[in-house]
Amino acid sequence: MLEDLINKELIFVTDKVKGKYELLEDMVDRTLGKGLIMTREPIIHEIKKREKLESTGVIEGVAIPHARTEAVKDLILEIAIIKKGLDFDSLDEKPVYIVFLIVAPEEARTKYIKVLARISRMCRQEGFRSKLKEANSPDEVYEIIQNFDK
């Protein structure tokens, strides 16, 4: 289940985001000091490299940036809710409100696919997206995911 992978400390709700890359750097920085990552720079580099060439899941209002790197020991899932929305270079030019960042080592490929499949399945439900958009705290986000992750 997805909820088993979620650390509430890696969920945040914000309306102060300058841009896509600033958000992604901020998300990586929030994992520092928690024993989850070895070094910051390779992760940022890998995420940016992929974001320039690829986007996963063309779901309205949702972005799923990701990276594979040996700078993490196990899969990390981080969630950001951006209350005012953020320009994420989406093809439909609509703002993104929900960001799932996945960083995983190469050997966690199967786990990564299962997580991605589960996130994508939940995000296709309009009710899930609208509830997450309205969430005001990590606890609320966690609870919504718990309710839909069945």
Residue 106 lies near another protein (rule: CB under 8 A): no
Cα Rg, the chain, nearest whole Å = 14
Burial of 130 (0-12, 13-18, 19+ CB in 10 A): exposed
Residue 58 DSSP code: -
Which of residues 26 and 56 has its CB atom nearest to another protein in the complex?
Answer: 56
Say if CB 48 and CB 82 are below 8 A apart: no
Which of residues 50 and 83 has its CB atom nearest to another protein in the complex?
Answer: 50
Residue 109 lies near another protein (rule: CB under 8 A): yes
> Considering only residues 50, 83, 131, 133, which one is a binding residue for another protein as defined by CB under 8 A?
50
Q: How far is the CB of 53 from another protein (least distance, A)?
A: 5
Q: How far is the CB of 106 from another protein (least distance, A)?
A: 11
Instruction: Dig out the tokens for 146 from the structure.
Output: 């718990």
Q: How far is the CB of 149 from another protein (least distance, A)?
A: 12
Residue 54 lies near another protein (rule: CB under 8 A): yes
Residue 58 lies near another protein (rule: CB under 8 A): yes
> Considering only residues 4, 16, 41, 91, which one is a binding residue for another protein as defined by CB under 8 A?
91
Residue 84 lies near another protein (rule: CB under 8 A): no
Greatest extent of the chain over all pairs of C-alpha atoms, in Å: 37
Which amino acid is it at 3?
E
What is the distance of C-alpha 56 from the center of its chain?
Answer: 11
For 49, residues 6+ apart whose C-beta sits below 8 A from its C-beta are 67
Interacting residues toward another protein by CB under 8 A: 49-50, 52-58, 91-92, 109, 112-114, 116-118, 120-121, 124
